[in-house]
Structure 1
Amino acid sequence: MMDAWIAFARTGDPSHPGIGRWEPYEEETRPTMVFDLESRLERDPYAEERLAAAALAGAAVEAVELNYKHGTQAARLD
């Protein structure tokens, strides 16, 4: 990881021989560098967890909006 920081500071690109090409992030494929004993680039790691969290957040926002619209107290989501 230190070499990635050094490469980034020098060139603006954290890629280096120890980890290979570190692709810029884009929302469609979500390339993410995973630092481990053998670092690697993964596409959208933890996608299932990310989508579940987004669904829960969306449900919470909908509940608050519904309560606001009807003038009721905030709903409990537990």
Structure 2
Amino acid sequence: MLTGIELSLTIAQIIQRLRGSHLHSQIERQAKECLHQPDVKLESLKEDVRSFLKTSGWERKLQNAVYRELHM
């Protein structure tokens, strides 16, 4: 079982590795495209983008990438 510090370090390492990946750039591009949709509001921007990524399948792709990183 990981301690809080070990877990934080593991999360930071995974984020760092994914940040430079092709998947990251694809998700970022999709999130930016989402901003141009009329149903996305500034008041609920975070939730709207998260919902868009979930319904478009990108959330699952990110989950799978994190899972792969954890098992490397």
TM more than 0.5: no
TM-score (norm 2): 0.29
**Relative CO higher for 1 or 2, CA cutoff 8 Å, sep ≥ 6?**
2
Greater fraction strand? 1
Higher radius of gyration, 1 or 2:
1
